[in-house]
Structure 1
Amino acid sequence: MDKTAKTCHVIPHTHWDFEWYFSTHESLIQLIYHMDEVMTALETGQTQTYLLDGQLSIVEDYLAHCPEHTERFTRLVQDGKLIIGPWYSQTDQLIISGESIVRNLAMGMQIGAQFGPVMKIGYVPDSFGQSIDMPKIYRGVGIDKTVFWRGLSTDVCPTREFIWTCEDGSQVRGYNIKNGYFVGSYVMDFDDPTPLCQQAEEGTLANNIAIPLGGDQRYVDKEIASRLAVCNQSTADYELVESSYDQLFKALDAEGRDWPTISGELIDGQVSKIHRSIYSSRYDHKFFNDKIERRLCYQLEPLMVMAAQHGIKPKRTLLDQVWKVLMRNHAHDSAGGCNTDKTNKIILARYEQADQMSGSAVDYLVRKLADSQPQAAQGGIDGRITLFNTLPFGREPLIQMSIATEQPHFVLQDINGHPIAFDVLAQEPIYRGSIQRDPSQNDPSLYYYQTQVAFYYALPPSGFVSIQVRDAQVEEALTVCALTPCDATTQSEISISNDRYQLSVKDGQITLFDHQLQQAWPNCLTLLDMGDDGDTYDYSPPAQDWLLTLDWRESRFSVQQGQHLQTLFIEGEWALPQDLTARAERLCNGHMGYSLAISLSDAASPLTMRVELDNQVDDHRVQLVVSAPFNTETSWSDTPFGVVERANTPAHLHDWREAGWKEEPSPIYPMLHMANLHNDEMSLTVLAKGVKEYEMRADNQLALTLFRGVGWLGKPDLQRRPGIASGQQFKYIPTPDSQLRGPIEAEFAVVIDRQFDAAAIQRAWQQYAVDVLPYQAQSLNQFTNTLKYFVMHPLTHKVADHAQGITLQSDELVLSALKPTMSGDGVLIRVYNPSSQTVASAGELHLPMAFREMVEVNLCEHPVATPVVCLGTVPLVHFKPKQIRSFIVR
């Protein structure tokens, strides 16, 4: 063998898409028989090692259906032949929350450890881009290497070996797979490996090169040794060896080369498609995922901590099961929505399962604690309302809830009898007797009143407080905030206002005036409709597009004004092209109904919006466009544990075809919860619940993609993505469900500040998006939720009227998790500094006196410092830029 020959590490593996153009049920059958063949090949020496795609969810599935092979499987893992982990599922990194990514790795490593060693490589062979935060996440779970395919460009790094860093100083060694995880099958089919090796060598710095041998659900290759022997006889320039990624990195280390250092997110489509508009495919799934992530992290887990202080032990296995169901939907194809309709139905069913389980757990704990409080039926008090704040800081939000009363007149009071001012938004009588075919036969004495109210009330951190509802005399009769129709044809202007803003509509345009900044935002809010000739992977403008600005000229307006809440309602129907043919002919032969509610509360709260659409047309994309009255060259968005700055005009936007990029580097970007524009004088942020994509349009227009409707899984030769079809390139697969016909809802809030503060904005999102949990002790309405119908014992001890728990007092840090520990012996608190500046003194944790010990841990909850005694208050000091820190208190 020539000493100058380069070593090609041929790495046997499979990439096991959990689901895609096939369903998980269909894939499971292949997996069951595939694993038998893999284990036989390893036991007989037909292959030395085999990488099981770095995810443990498929291991769970296999052993659940073949438990008789558990010992056999475990032995191969312990012998180092079958390589597993570290993920639970091959997650998306760009539209999945940071806490979900951490749980995915921690869960995968915990499950894998039951069988043997877990691969300590951040292995993501097919995810559509790499988040800026991944190096610190990897290091937080004990991983110092990563291997991936998509997202790296030569603009970022000229070589495929590199050191990838985060602003907190975390770094991992990275290796970028060349041209995909499937190229190694060439050695099984051709005797001369030179073309493959030359291709794999492109862009490498080292003499050791990776050649992955595997593919999507590919069978195990049983003749690797003999094939490599033939290949090695055919070339003198390369030596092919059967290997693994651990062996590759050891060989790379032995070379002792200096690798270039890079930083930032990796979402470039130069050498591989990254589908930079998949973030808006199947918006209904993304909305559902965001709702469940919010509930798990910011309601259910903190509520379990709160309940534990009152003797209700956390159900850790229940939490794990809900997380597992959700994380199966986080696999890159599943999260993206680039699947067949039958597969998307299964994904939606898992969301339904996770939603019902997590929602019911919240309902149970809220009711259990509230029903264990003293009976509020004395001194003229008719009922108790308990308000739960699951965030670890005090707040005084506008609470909107529904109250059941026997009479139509009532008042609200605090527990000491002091009145609470409230708005009545709506009221209706409800029958609580046995249902009748003829409602006229209903017993008049069995009606009660369901009233929607809005009021402000101060809530303790990580705690709850009680108020009362009391029957009132007729002279104290409620005044329902009337919904007043407004005729835009006869009125010069329709408006609502508070101390901070005035929102007005005139000539079909919405103008926002900021009293504090003395700044007018004319025509600040529109919807934009355009054709979409793309597929479930990517938006693509049709050859003959017709952009329609959807203003409010033909709308119906009404206003509801109370002392706490003012809302402008706008509704109507837009005429739109029914399909791409009609759009090319500029024919509006279809329609989309709309309802928009824009609300103002107090001056410190953001302007909020709720959009409801009734989509009845195909092949189009709808964006909510917010126009900023200032210019910027970059936009900002939140990431799993921080924020990122992005160019409004990407570097290769106009020459990407000439440069040979796989897809257009459009200014279409992922977001988790917010998108921002700011300069030195002003900051505009749009907060969202469920929307995961924004685009920078001309004239500093920030456009959030509400949804896109398309009818094919993959199509070839798109304008933004030329060449073969993504997904299944040999067959058109129709996806009519992905047209998203029917109702679509979205919620937003607009925050305007003098300057951009990453921590303040992310805390503002939590205030906006994490609802207070109200519970009324009453027996009139047994169907406030499904569990309300079931009887329940209260706790054996009384729960106080007021409780306060763990408190995070900090203007610099953002809460990521407040939850029971994985081991069940304490409470984990995870916070991070989202800014690019070091924070010397970040604030304090205030702990109930029951907690006596605190220890800092990594993301897998393993100690990284010596435990310290804590008595009430713990200072939070020295947070590096973008640093995540986790603490367990016991």
Structure 2
Amino acid sequence: MQKTFHVIPHTHWDFEWYFSTHESLIQLVYHMEEVMSALESGENDTYLLDGQLSIIEDYLEQCPGQKARLISLVQQGKLLIGPWYTQTDQLIISGESIVRNLMTGIRLGEQFGSVMNIGYVPDAFGQSIDMPKIYQGFGIDKTVFWRGLSTDICTSREFNWQSEDGSEVLGYNIKNGYFVGSYLIDNDDPTPLCHQAEDGVLGHHIAIPLGGDQRYVDRNIKARLAVNNQNCTDYTLVESSYDRLFKAIADEKLSLPTLSGEFIDGQVSKIHRSIYSSRYDHKFLNDRVERRLSYQLEPLMVMAQSWGIEAKPAMAANIWKTILRNHAHDSAGGCNTDKTNKIILARYEQADQMSGSAVDYLVRKLAESQPTAEQGGIDGRLTLFNTLPYAREALIKTTISTVKPHFTLCDLQGNDIAYDVLNTELVYRGSIQRDSKENDPSLYYYQTEIAFAHPLPASGFTSLQVVETEQPSTPNIQNRETDVSEAQIENERYRLEYRQGQFHLFDKQQQKWWNNCLSLLDMGDDGDTYDYSPPEQDWLVTLDWHEATLSVNKGQCGQSLVVEGVWHLPKNLAERANKQCSGQLGYRIELQLETSPELNRSPIVIDAEFDNQVEDHRLQLVVTTPFETQTSWADTPFGIVERVNQHKHLDDWCQAGWKEEPSPIYPMLHFANMHNATTSMTLMAKGVKEYEVRADNQLALTMFRSVGWLGKPDLQRRPGIASGQQFKYIPTPDSQLQGRLKVECAMLVEPHFDPADLQQAWQHYAVEPLVYQNQSLNQFTNTLKYFVMHPLDNTVADYQQGIDLHSDNLVCSAVKPSEDNTGVLVRLYNPSSECIKASGTLTLPIAFSNIVEVDLMEREISIECEIHGMVELGEFKPKQIRSFVIRYK
């Protein structure tokens, strides 16, 4: 049977990269006119617009008069759009972000006509293990991609790709890129390209993508295919689409292999295994906005709805869309020019400010609508909000404003609550004067930073009372030791000691020492914004603490050990080669332990601040474990994945022709783990997206890397042409990240590895309770506090418990107003590879009357049922995602 090659016209539209989104937009405006004219004239039958709707949104904003014309072409099936909003990265972007990306793209595309029902990702730097179940959650049963699949995993390019829950999609792996079809336009004999394209196919129908980055529409395609068919009788070339290709493959009824897992191998295409640490500052902000949207703002909107504050789903959707534009593979990776990265950073700052302000508004509105707290005078009430759907005991840090320097903290029944004073500052609240001596002495007040532990209701809030006193509560003052040479901090679970320049951890539960457990490793980086690459003359420097200044703070609620100072390091690669050190890396690292007995499962918190004045280097936090493993684990969008510590081609990858070294450098969303049968060690983070398994049982988080070029050729880990723009060196001095950087991470040691437990532990660590003191002394607790506000007509209660998840096996990824605004959506998933028969329950407030299961588009997939306060969640398959809409009465 003669083979048919489906030539598929398309464009791959990076709306920003080594050019800015503004520059690309001008090209798009004129490009769309050419595309629509070619489709209307019949010069082209179909044209695939890169599977993303954001560029159509941008185009119609500039050319609104072309909307009817575009809709007509979409409805005729000529202009192929969707399903994505942006071509997202799949490995360092949260599962909720990926779901919102597809939902946004599909809903936007449906306004124009039909949306392509294919998970089309031609250029993503690897494919996540969770994509089949995400696709199936939207009714998508096919996917097309290029990067990440190696012949170690599959020798054919047609296959079934399956998630652990049984969700399956038909996959097609593009051969040698989405741009190869341009050969047919420039050459008369297609034989060499056809030979290349048929390598690895099982059937007789083969894709040849005809397009490229911002490529014009090939209006001569019919004439060129006629010439190619005339010059080659062995093959048939047809103008086609991926829908037609998949239909032809289905008609062949091939016996296809079934694959599972992630595809992150760089055998046939570069996947940039170390891009996860480029532009750490962007990734830190992205993680903060994702956390706030998923785990604070949307749950707060649900909480506020119960008191008559209407949800603003369009506002939330617009904030989501702002960061989704930063989730395209280049944008998320940070492999862009400095001018483009400035635009990306501006979007993050916009989303950060909008989401933060929305949270501040709702917290204040609810808190200031509670009854006036009379005990101890005005300004007394402190409201604590827990936006997670389970009750928890949390260590809370906040700042209290009082007229007097001393106060007690108690619940509304008058029971005292122990707290630690972290810092006190005398602040003036009158009109500012050039000379502070002219200030009115009666207008000073105290801002006291405190820490305390308190139980919090699920999806709710509780209230405390600040009572000003004449005398200090002496036990609340922390014991501070400064300029010590040796120190230790401890709680019921750990003892952390600093001795002779090293940190040693004693695990009280297992009665085991982890000697020299924490260190920092600095190395040269001769790479670019795509990849880390060790320089030929590297100098690995294990940073010691001998010249550090140490201080210890010990209180009732927590203990901390602070090390700070300056490390002298090579300023650049030339100095590193000569082992010179004129550069400086200032640091302040605080290690914290919570001491409340109820919090003895809390991690060792590691908050670091760096002043980076060093170029071309990579800094890692290294934990040395007292056990050996062959694999590591990390969280994924909706689960976990196991990865080998040493790839089988690590030593022969270059001889085998791989495009890049299969280093044990891996992506993570929130944590990386190593464990054996008796001990599990997890490193959690808020924005760090890369870990590496080093020799001698070491797990390392890449805190940040500093590089100065968009792309460079012939790297040690990635030989050959430069990634990105291969014809020009493009400097990116901003990617050196000179200046101050904040890194927040934590270490958790447990006797057993439990995926759901770890996901919940990360949420507990990373999603902080929200606190509001109803006071009038400080009008600048946040930007909106200065504005006046009416309380709600209905007085808000002192205490509220909302949706409560009772499960040791499930993780909640979303509690939000439903898309139809008739109820609340709750999304849960089982992160383990085991089927859970009795997974747990949801306890619901009486305001809810019915529940229905929905897919990821929030379309009903079960019969709506009445509920009476509690819902049995039933069976969850391995790694399964399930979503429920709970209807209001």
Q: Structures share a fold, TM > 0.5?
A: yes
Q: Retained in 2: the 8 A contact 1:634–1:646?
A: yes
Q: Retained in 1: the 8 A contact 2:779–2:785?
A: yes
Q: Distance in 2 between matches of 1:63 and 1:475?
A: 64
Query: Match of 1:607, as an amino acid?
Result: I
Secondary structure of 1:841's aligned partner: coil
Aligned to 2:548: 555
Query: Match of 1:317, as an amino acid?
Result: A
Deviating runs (4+, > 6 A) in structure 1?
Answer: none
Aligned to 1:691: 688
Q: Distance in 1 between matches of 2:201 and 2:839?
A: 43
Report the CA distance between 1:651 and its aligned residue.
Answer: 1.3
Offset from partner CA, 1:499-540 (integer Å, 9 cap, x none): 211111111100010111101011000000000000000000
Q: Distance in 1 between matches of 2:405 and 2:667?
A: 48
Q: Describe how 1:558-637 pairs up with structure 2 within 5 A.
A: 558-602=551-595, 603-637=600-634
User: If the length of structure 1 is used for normalisation, what is the TM-score?
Assistant: 0.99
Larger displacement relative to structure 2 (494-503 or 168-177): 494-503
Secondary structure of 2:513's aligned partner: strand
Change over 3 Å in CA distance of 1:548–1:379 after alignment to 2? closer
Q: Describe how 1:862-877 pairs up with structure 2 within 5 A.
A: 862-877=859-874
Correspondence 1:664 to 2:661: yes
Q: Distance in 2 between matches of 1:435 and 1:481?
A: 33
Please, which runs of 5 or more residues in structure 2 have no aligned partner? none
Q: Please, which of 96, 100, 118 is the counterpart of residue 115 of structure 2? A: 118
Report the CA distance between 1:476 and its aligned residue.
Answer: 4.3
Q: Retained in 1: the 8 A contact 2:385–2:771?
A: yes
Secondary structure of 2:826's aligned partner: strand
Aligned to 2:258: 261
Please, which runs of 5 or more residues in structure 1 have no aligned partner? none
Correspondence 1:184 to 2:173: no
Report the CA distance between 1:109 and its aligned residue.
Answer: 0.5
Aligned to 1:678: 675
Q: Please, which of 785, 789, 798 is the counterpart of residue 788 of structure 1? A: 785
Q: Distance in 1 between matches of 2:403 and 2:19?
A: 54
Query: Match of 2:49, as an amino acid?
Result: L
Q: Please, which of 515, 519, 526 is the counterpart of residue 522 of structure 1? A: 515
Report the CA distance between 1:377 and its aligned residue.
Answer: 2.3
Aligned to 2:505: 512
Q: Distance in 1 between matches of 2:803 and 2:559?
A: 34
Report the CA distance between 1:668 and its aligned residue.
Answer: 0.1
Q: Distance in 1 between matches of 2:511 and 2:322?
A: 49
Aligned to 1:138: 135
Q: Distance in 2 between matches of 1:483 and 1:215?
A: 62
Offset from partner CA, 1:435-483 (integer Å, 9 cap, x none): 1112222221111100010111111100000101011122646853243
Q: Distance in 2 between matches of 1:240 and 1:382?
A: 77
Q: Retained in 2: the 8 A contact 1:427–1:480?
A: no
Secondary structure of 1:228's aligned partner: helix
Q: Distance in 1 between matches of 2:396 and 2:882?
A: 32
Q: Distance in 2 between matches of 1:478 and 1:23?
A: 57
Report the CA distance between 1:10 and its aligned residue.
Answer: 0.3
Aligned to 2:644: 647
Correspondence 1:336 to 2:329: no
Q: Retained in 1: the 8 A contact 2:375–2:467?
A: no
Q: Distance in 2 between matches of 1:441 and 1:569?
A: 38
Q: Distance in 2 between matches of 1:205 and 1:475?
A: 79
Aligned to 2:458: 461
Query: Match of 1:728, as an amino acid?
Result: Q
Aligned to 1:31: 28
Q: Retained in 2: the 8 A contact 1:381–1:469?
A: no
Secondary structure of 1:474's aligned partner: coil
Report the CA distance between 1:497 and its aligned residue.
Answer: 1.2
Aligned to 1:161: 158
Q: Please, which of 809, 812, 819 is the counterpart of residue 816 of structure 2? A: 819
Report the CA distance between 1:589 and its aligned residue.
Answer: 1.2
Report the CA distance between 1:748 and its aligned residue.
Answer: 1.1
Aligned to 1:350: 347
Q: Distance in 2 between matches of 1:677 and 1:306?
A: 38
Q: Retained in 1: the 8 A contact 2:419–2:476?
A: no
Report the CA distance between 1:398 and its aligned residue.
Answer: 0.6
Q: Please, which of 339, 362, 368 is the counterpart of residue 371 of structure 1? A: 368
Report the CA distance between 1:486 and its aligned residue.
Answer: 3.2
Query: Match of 1:582, as an amino acid?
Result: E
Secondary structure of 1:523's aligned partner: strand
* Number of equivalent positions: 883
Correspondence 1:543 to 2:536: yes
Query: Match of 1:665, as an amino acid?
Result: P
Aligned to 1:320: 317
Aligned to 1:828: 825
Q: Distance in 1 between matches of 2:497 and 2:439?
A: 45
Q: Distance in 2 between matches of 1:306 and 1:367?
A: 13
Aligned to 2:196: 199
Q: Distance in 2 between matches of 1:402 and 1:289?
A: 26
Aligned to 1:883: 880
Report the CA distance between 1:551 and its aligned residue.
Answer: 1.7
Q: Retained in 2: the 8 A contact 1:5–1:239?
A: yes
Q: Please, which of 742, 746, 759 is the counterpart of residue 743 of structure 2? A: 746
Report the CA distance between 1:498 and its aligned residue.
Answer: 1.3
Query: Match of 2:564, as an amino acid?
Result: E
Query: Match of 2:585, as an amino acid?
Result: M
Query: Match of 2:214, as an amino acid?
Result: Q
Larger displacement relative to structure 2 (594-603 or 356-365): 594-603
Aligned to 2:276: 279
Query: Match of 2:162, as an amino acid?
Result: T
Q: Distance in 2 between matches of 1:19 and 1:237?
A: 41
Q: Retained in 2: the 8 A contact 1:389–1:461?
A: yes
Q: Distance in 2 between matches of 1:704 and 1:480?
A: 35
Correspondence 1:222 to 2:219: yes
Query: Match of 1:819, as an amino acid?
Result: K
Secondary structure of 1:608's aligned partner: strand
Query: Match of 1:310, as an amino acid?
Result: W
Q: Distance in 2 between matches of 1:479 and 1:165?
A: 56
Q: Distance in 2 between matches of 1:477 and 1:277?
A: 51
Change over 3 Å in CA distance of 1:475–1:768 after alignment to 2? closer
Q: Retained in 2: the 8 A contact 1:409–1:477?
A: no
Q: Distance in 2 between matches of 1:353 and 1:476?
A: 42
Q: Retained in 1: the 8 A contact 2:379–2:776?
A: no
Report the CA distance between 1:71 and its aligned residue.
Answer: 0.3
Q: Please, which of 492, 495, 500 is the counterpart of residue 502 of structure 1? A: 495
Correspondence 1:310 to 2:303: no
Query: Match of 2:146, as an amino acid?
Result: W
Report the CA distance between 1:98 and its aligned residue.
Answer: 0.5
Q: Please, which of 436, 440, 449 is the counterpart of residue 452 of structure 1? A: 449
Q: Retained in 2: the 8 A contact 1:621–1:707?
A: yes
Secondary structure of 1:524's aligned partner: strand
Offset from partner CA, 1:341-378 (integer Å, 9 cap, x none): 00000000000000000000000000000000011125
Correspondence 1:440 to 2:433: no
Q: Please, which of 769, 773, 781 is the counterpart of residue 772 of structure 1? A: 769
Q: Distance in 2 between matches of 1:615 and 1:227?
A: 55
Aligned to 1:722: 719
Could you say what the CA RMSD is over the residues aligned between the two structures, in angstroms? 0.9
Larger displacement relative to structure 2 (598-607 or 207-216): 598-607
Q: Please, which of 296, 299, 319 is the counterpart of residue 293 of structure 2? A: 296
Query: Match of 1:415, as an amino acid?
Result: L
Q: Please, which of 788, 792, 795 is the counterpart of residue 798 of structure 1? A: 795
Q: Distance in 2 between matches of 1:48 and 1:610?
A: 57
Offset from partner CA, 1:531-552 (integer Å, 9 cap, x none): 0000000000000000000121
Query: Match of 1:531, as an amino acid?
Result: G
Q: Retained in 2: the 8 A contact 1:501–1:512?
A: yes
Aligned to 2:356: 359
